Amino acid sequence: MTIFNNILIYFVIIPLLTLGGLALCTNAGRGIRAIRAVAVTGATALVALAAYLVYYFVTARAAGVQDAMLLRSDVMWYEPFNIKLALGVDGVSVVMIALSAIIVFAGVFASWKMNPLPKQFFLWFFLLSTGVFGFFISIDLFTMFMFYEVALIPMYLLIGVWGSGNKTYSAMKLTLMLMGGSALLMLGIIGIYFHSAPEGSPLTMNILEIAEANAIPHSWQMYLFPLTFVGFGVLGAMFPFHTWSPDGHASAPTAVSMLHAGVLMKLGGYGCFRIAICLMPFAANELAWIFLLLTGISVVYGAFSACVQTDLKYINAYSSVSHCGMVLFAILMFNTTAMTGAVLQMLSHGLMTALFFALIGMIYGRTHTRDIQKMGGLMQIMPYLGVGYVIAGMASLGLPGLSGFVAEMTIFVGSFMHEDTFRRVLTIAGTSSIVITAVYILRVVGKLLFGPVVDEHHRQLTDATWEEKLSTATLIVCVAAIGCFPNFFVDIISGSFEPVVKALNAAM
């Protein structure tokens, strides 16, 4: 079949094969070795494939291929509704796929000593990543929605079984809120489907065709846009639908927090862009102000909330609300610069939050507390983890040379380019977050790592093991790579936005 000639499908097949491999392993005795071997092989294959995809994409674009989507292929799934497995990627999806692969890779090493039931843990872990990759490679509404659900459900079990603290409550809350978002989304997708083509033409689920036809009546757009935007916005931790995030992250095991904050939350931003904005440009223009206000609030509100938290994971969860708010904020600015900034911010936030959660998990695994008041002076005891945490913090507060700076500056400069005073004022309000971020990051770093050792028992603790070092070093290198060579990424991403921005301006 021709579809197997398309490398994109292997982003789904490799995790599925890994699932198969894991199913053959056992938890007993030396089974853990086999489990690790299978998981590492799967993750490495994904990273290699993602690297090849980036290379392929860059060379294809350099060779002058102008198609909106590359690597297209279609397979009919269900004739009556015209549902296809439609694959295709543009610059945005390519970087998202690369991000996911890296975080899956780092996540496998971060859960090296997973206990109990490592086999089942990795099974769900890879099922989740199947969903994530599937979502990014497909351009058919139905398949996208299906993969989206595949990515969400494992979260319930991963938190409920392997989590800590008030895990049943958190898992239930997270799943219910995200399912609530999905319900809105499904309504939106069905609505889009029934208006996907002009009178007389067959209906379609393919987002490229829908965007081209641009046949959704304006009155319908005004209903469907909020449904889809909020549906995805819940996952993107948009105010006031973000409260699943602090509890969910606090209870989730390390690798799950990494994957969730690193990749899953990006599904929200990606979906908002790919489905809500691209397909309904008219309503996007009309209603942008409401969501700009909400996301603008997210940015500042999340940062202020993070200032007074004492649980490391809560601090990070609120900081994610702030940073992801910036993603949605920028994506609503409808100019290439700001939207490119949004994708850079997704990359940056994904990598650096994954790094944060990995380090928090490692610290928690040693000290058995996440309360910053009960820890102090850890830099003396575990310098590797300490330095890693400082680097993650610096990336978060936007130090040049690391990814956060590049992303935030692109967003701010892009957002400020609007003639519209409302947007400019919001941008200025948003920039204030760089100071507040510095406040909470330095507060944590100062309390956790510096100063005298608070608990004498901590002196016996050890520094990072090799697999922990590998996991964090991978992420640090990626964070630095984006921060040092931003134009490489900007070139990949920005091309995808030009047609969209044109369509958006035309719809105004």
Partner 1 sequence: MPFSYSIAVVALPLLMFLVLGLLDDRLGRRTAGVIGTVAMLVTTVLAYGVALTYFFGTGQGQIVDGIRQTVTVWNPAWLTFTEDLVVRMGIALDPIAAMMLVVITTVSLMVHLYSLGYMSNHEGEPEKGYQRYYAFLGLFTFSMLGLVVATNIFQVFIFFEMVGVSSYLLIGFYYTSPAAVHASKKAFIVTRLADLFFLLGIMILSFYTRTFDFESLVGTGGVAASGALGSAHGGTFMGISIMAWALTFIFIGGAGKSAMYPLHIWLPDAMEGPTPVSALIHAATMVVAGVYLVAKLFPLYVLEQGAMDVIAVVGAFTAFYAAAIACTQSDIKRALAFSTISQIAFMMTSLAVSSSDGALIEIHGGYGLGYMASMFHLFTHAMFKALLFLCAGAIIHAVGSNENSAMHGLHKHMPITSIAFLIGCLAIAGIPPFAGFWSKDEILVACYAKGLGWGLWMTMVAGLTAFYMFRLYLLIFFWSDHKQHGHHAPADAHWTMTVPLIILAAISVVAGFVPAHDMVTCDGKPLHTQLDWTVAGSSVLVACLGIGLAWRLYYKENDAPERMKAAASGLWTAAYHRFYMDELYQFITHKVIFQCVSKPIAWFDRKVIDGTMNLMGTVTQYCAAMVRPLQSGKVQAYVLTYLIGALVLAAALIACVLI
Alpha carbon distance, N-terminus to C-terminus of the chain? 43
By beta-carbon proximity to partner 1, the closer residue of 53 and 390 is 390
Which residues sit opposite 74 in a β-bridge?
86
By beta-carbon proximity to partner 1, the closer residue of 43 and 234 is 234
| Cis preceding linkage at 400, omega within 30 | no
- The distance of closest approach from Cβ of residue 304 to partner 1 in the complex, given in angstroms and rounded to an integer, is 5
Interface with partner 1, residue 398, by CB under 8 A: yes
Task: Give the DSSP letter string of 186-238.
Answer: HHHHHHHHHTSS-TTSPP--BHHHHHHH--S-HHHHHHHHHHHHHHHHHHTT-
By beta-carbon proximity to partner 1, the closer residue of 124 and 318 is 318
Closest CA to 358 of 505, 503, 467: 467
Closest CA to 131 of 110, 108, 147: 147
Residue 441: half-sphere exposure toward Cβ, Cα within 13 Å: 23
Site residues for partner 1, 336-375, by CB under 8 A, read 336-337
- The distance of closest approach from Cβ of residue 44 to partner 1 in the complex, given in angstroms and rounded to an integer, is 25
By beta-carbon proximity to partner 1, the closer residue of 166 and 201 is 166
Q: Pattern of binders to partner 1 over 417-456, x per CB under 8 A?
A: x---------xx--xx-xx--xx--xx--x--xxxx----
Interface with partner 1, residue 243, by CB under 8 A: yes
Residue 442 neighbours by CB distance under 10 Å? 15
Site residues for partner 1, 112-131, by CB under 8 A, read none
**Candidates 52-60, 70-78, 128-136, 299-307; binding stretch for partner 1 (CB under 8 A):** 299-307
Site residues for partner 1, 79-98, by CB under 8 A, read none
Interface with partner 1, residue 176, by CB under 8 A: yes
- The distance of closest approach from Cβ of residue 286 to partner 1 in the complex, given in angstroms and rounded to an integer, is 25
Helix 433-448 × helix 421-431 angle, to 10°: 20
Determine contact, residues 397/404, Cβ cutoff 8 Å: yes
Considering only 93, 129, 305, 353, the residue that binds partner 1 (CB under 8 A) is 305
Distance of CA 494 to the CA centre of its chain: 18
By beta-carbon proximity to partner 1, the closer residue of 15 and 414 is 414
Residue 132: half-sphere exposure toward Cβ, Cα within 13 Å: 32
How many residues can be counted in the chain?
A: 508
- The distance of closest approach from Cβ of residue 439 to partner 1 in the complex, given in angstroms and rounded to an integer, is 6
- The distance of closest approach from Cβ of residue 402 to partner 1 in the complex, given in angstroms and rounded to an integer, is 10
By beta-carbon proximity to partner 1, the closer residue of 103 and 504 is 504
Interface with partner 1, residue 412, by CB under 8 A: yes
By beta-carbon proximity to partner 1, the closer residue of 203 and 439 is 439
Q: Residue 237 region, left (φ>0) first, then alpha (ψ -120 to 50), else beta? A: left
By beta-carbon proximity to partner 1, the closer residue of 134 and 231 is 231
* Angle, CA 59 vertex, CA 57 and CA 62 arms, to 5°: 110
Q: Pattern of binders to partner 1 over 24-53, x per CB under 8 A?
A: ------------------------------
- The distance of closest approach from Cβ of residue 457 to partner 1 in the complex, given in angstroms and rounded to an integer, is 18
- Distance separating alpha carbons of residues 410 and 480, to the nearest angstrom: 17
Closest CA to 265 of 236, 226, 308, 300: 236
Site residues for partner 1, 210-229, by CB under 8 A, read none
Q: Pattern of binders to partner 1 over 244-263, x per CB under 8 A?
A: x-------------------
Q: List phi, psi (to 5°) of 215.
A: -100, 0
Distance of CA 101 to the CA centre of its chain: 12
By beta-carbon proximity to partner 1, the closer residue of 107 and 404 is 404
Amino acid at 141: L
- Distance separating alpha carbons of residues 357 and 392, to the nearest angstrom: 10
Site residues for partner 1, 466-505, by CB under 8 A, read 486-487, 490-491, 494
- The distance of closest approach from Cβ of residue 435 to partner 1 in the complex, given in angstroms and rounded to an integer, is 5
By beta-carbon proximity to partner 1, the closer residue of 355 and 402 is 402
**Candidates 115-123, 222-230, 287-295, 395-403; binding stretch for partner 1 (CB under 8 A):** 395-403
Cα 460 to Cα 16, 463, 468: the distances in Å are: 42, 10, 18
Q: What is the dihedral of CA 221, 224, 226, 228, to 10 degrees?
A: -130
* Angle, CA 470 vertex, CA 270 and CA 458 arms, to 5°: 105
- The distance of closest approach from Cβ of residue 342 to partner 1 in the complex, given in angstroms and rounded to an integer, is 13
Determine contact, residues 447/315, Cβ cutoff 8 Å: no
Per DSSP, 454 falls in state S
Site residues for partner 1, 182-211, by CB under 8 A, read none
Residues in contact with partner 1 by CB under 8 A are 173, 176-177, 240, 242-244, 301, 304-305, 307-309, 336-337, 377, 379-380, 394, 397-401, 405-406, 409-410, 412-414, 416-417, 427-428, 431-432, 434-435, 438-439, 442-443, 446, 449-452, 486-487, 490-491, 494
